[in-house]
Amino acid sequence: MLKLDYKESVAFIRDKFVPFKDANLSIASSPVLYGLSVYTVFNVNWNEKDKKLYAFRITDHYERLVNSAKIMDFDSFAKDWPYARFEKTMLELVRRNKIQEDALVRITVFIDEVVAGTKIHGLKNSLSAFVYPMGEILPPSGAHLCVSSWLHTPDNVIPPRAKVNGLYANNSLMKNEALRNGYDDAIALDISGHVNEGTVANLFIVRDGKLITPDPATDILEGITRNSILAIAKDQGVKCVQRSVDRSELYIADEMFLSGSSARISPVISVDKRPVGNGKIGPITKKLADIYEAAQRGTTNKYSSWRTTV
């Protein structure tokens, strides 16, 4: 099996494929100086038995990237990058890297100007993309989380439903605090004190057999993995509720997990040093994780519309 070394890989920037080491931006560019860029990350998943590689929900990632660009008033992206061009380019990028393993493709749309100040509208938009190994961002045996002392950025400051690169300074402060205090990750609260999400993933709890997750009005990212989990749970007859979640509910949840393209489904076994349920991975979490992996990897015929063969 070929192993991906992203530092030696092929990337895409400014309408051409280049060696990863040459895909660079000026130190005086708008994304470097002001974080004026938006991004998405989608999975590619290797099916060892069939020797096939599948891109997961690439259409939905494109649509979210378009919406992020709209929110930020990156006005030329959707016109310059219709879906057919986007899909063709991203699949070609994956093929050029000869991937035979699970990986992630990170695509960024950025204001491609130097010393342009904080202006946005009417400036040049460019797209970059690169591929990197999947890895594990949280322990698969279960993560230990804390509630962060930092509040999550609200929609009327930097909108979380747009994946704005500059917003992640907020998430980084939370992650840094968690790691320095001996935790694996942090849970953010919104400005009203309700549970928001993890630093790079949406949050779910289970109470009395019911799946509960913060609703979009709680300043969360409208996650594509989150959407997948809600669909799978519904198909499995698990009742799903999207609503405000109080901090205290974290301490009495029966199960908990994070979901995201990088996190996939990551079980949470403690919050603020309190065990979640019995301190082990719960049955609903495991069941959803197994079905989600099968949907990504193509080991089930169900959810085939979510997969694009590379």
- pLDDT tens across 156-173, in order? 999 999 999 999 999 999
Please give the pLDDT value at position 114.
Answer: 96
252 φ, ψ (degrees, to nearest 5): -120, 10
Spatial CB neighbours of 199, under 8 Å, sequence gap ≥ 6:
171, 172, 174, 175, 178, 185, 186, 188
pLDDT band at 6 (very low <50, low <70, confident <90, very high): confident
CATH numeric code, 6-133: 3.30.470.10
CATH 3.10.530.10 fits 143-297, yes or no: no
pTM to 2 decimal places? 0.95
The pair of three-digit structure tokens given for residue 38, joined into one six-digit string: 């938006």
| CB-count burial class (<10 Å; 0-12, 13-18, 19+) for 34 | middle
Q: Give the Cα separation of 161 and 71 in Å (integer).
A: 9
Domain boundaries, the chain: 6-133, 143-297
pLDDT in tens, 136-156: 999 999 999 999 999 999 999
Cα 247 to Cα 205, 211, 215, 242, 275, distances in angstroms: 11, 16, 15, 15, 14
Q: Which SS3 state, helix, strand or coil, does residue 302 take?
A: coil
In this structure, what token pair is assigned to residue 16? 């051409």
- In angstroms, the first-to-last Cα distance of the chain is 16
Distance CA 155, CA 220 (A): 9
* Helix, coil or strand: residue 54: strand
Q: What is the mean pLDDT of residues 205-222?
A: 96
- The residues pairing with 258 across neighbouring beta strands, listed in sequence order, are 203, 266
Contact in structure between 297 and 49 (CB atoms under 8 Å): no
